[in-house]
Amino acid sequence: MKLRSLPIMPTIIVAAAIAIMIALGFWQMSRADEKDAMVERFLAVREQNEVVPFPRVEADIDAALYRRSQVNCTQVLSTRSTAARDPNGTSGLAQVALCKLAGGGQAEIMLGWTARPFDSLWEGGPVTGYVAPSKEGPRLVASPPTFGLQQLAPPDPRDLPNNHLAYAGQWFFFALTALIMYIFVLRGHAKGS
**DSSP state string for 20-72:** HHHHHHHHHHHHHHHHHHHHHHHHHHHT---EEEPP-SHHHHHHHTTSEEEEE
pTM of the complete model beyond 0.85: no
Is the separation of the CB atoms in 21 and 171 below 8 Å?
Answer: yes
pLDDT tens profile 117-147? 777 778 889 999 998 888 888 999 998 888 7
Judge whether 3 lies within some domain: no
Residues 143, 73, single domain; the answer is: yes
Judge whether 1 lies within some domain: no
| Number of compact structural domains in the chain | 2
Residues 119, 185, single domain; the answer is: no
pLDDT tens profile 17-56? 999 999 999 999 888 888 877 777 777 777 777 888 888 8
Residues 23, 87, single domain; the answer is: no
Residue type, 183: I
Q: Which domain range does residue 179 map to?
A: 8-39+163-192
Residues 149, 167, single domain; the answer is: no
Q: What is the DSSP string of 107-139?
A: EEEEEEEESS--------EEEEEEEE--TTS-E
Indicate the average pLDDT of the chain.
Answer: 85
